[in-house]
């Protein structure tokens, strides 16, 4: 169910579409209660109709929450069956809103990049993956489109997103 600007989804109001992936669509939304913007990820309708979709979505959230690191996108909450504009109900999660571009977009525009440009990106990526592995989480879908580049306080921040294919290193999920 694509959202239009102004559509309501639980306590959120859609601002704009950000992108889409294998499991869902991502939007910038305004939290009407806290007066700040977040990213929301909706399960795509074709995926939502699959019997284990909600379970996979919950696992993505649970595994992402296990990793606390500035280079891992913060996931806030899961809203199953939430009412949306138009009377539909959808499952969605809320997460940190990132401004910038993906590593894939940057490489398409700038490749090849120098070692000096690559070094801070790789250092933050390996640090985030080390934190994930220490928490027993395997991302399993690390690629340029799942790595976000943003700037905070004039400094580059590299952020791993989309734990949709992640697994616990201990197994059982």
Q: Which of 46, 52, 141, 162 is catalytic?
A: 141
Q: How many CB atoms lie within 10 A of CB 88?
A: 12
The Cα 59–Cα 66 span in angstroms is 11
Active site annotation includes 141: yes
Cα end-to-end distance, the chain, whole Å: 28
- Give the number of C-alpha atoms closer than 13 A to the C-alpha of residue 8, restricted to the C-beta side: 8
Residue that the structure tokens 């939290």 belong to: 31
| Catalytically active residues, by annotation | 141
């Amino acid at each position: 169910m694509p959202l239009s600007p102004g559509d309501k989804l639980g306590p959120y109001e859609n601002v704009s579409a950000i992108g889409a992936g294998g499991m869902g669509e991502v939007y910038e939304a305004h939290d009407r209660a806290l007066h700040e913007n977040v990213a929301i990820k909706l399960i795509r309708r074709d995926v939502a109709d699959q019997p284990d979709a909600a379970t996979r979505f919950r696992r993505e959230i649970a595994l992402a929450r296990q990793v606390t690191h500035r280079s891992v996108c913060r996931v806030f909450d899961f809203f199953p069956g939430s009412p949306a504009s138009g009377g539909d109900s959808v499952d969605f999660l809320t997460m940190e809103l990132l401004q910038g571009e993906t590593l894939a977009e940057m490489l398409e525009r700038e490749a090849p990049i120098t070692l000096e440009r690559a070094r801070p990106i790789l250092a933050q990526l390996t640090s985030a993956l080390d934190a994930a592995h220490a928490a027993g989480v395997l991302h399993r879908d690390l690629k340029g489109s799942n790595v976000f580049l943003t700037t905070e306080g004039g400094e580059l921040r590299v952020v791993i997103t989309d734990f949709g294919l992640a697994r616990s290193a201990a197994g059982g999920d």
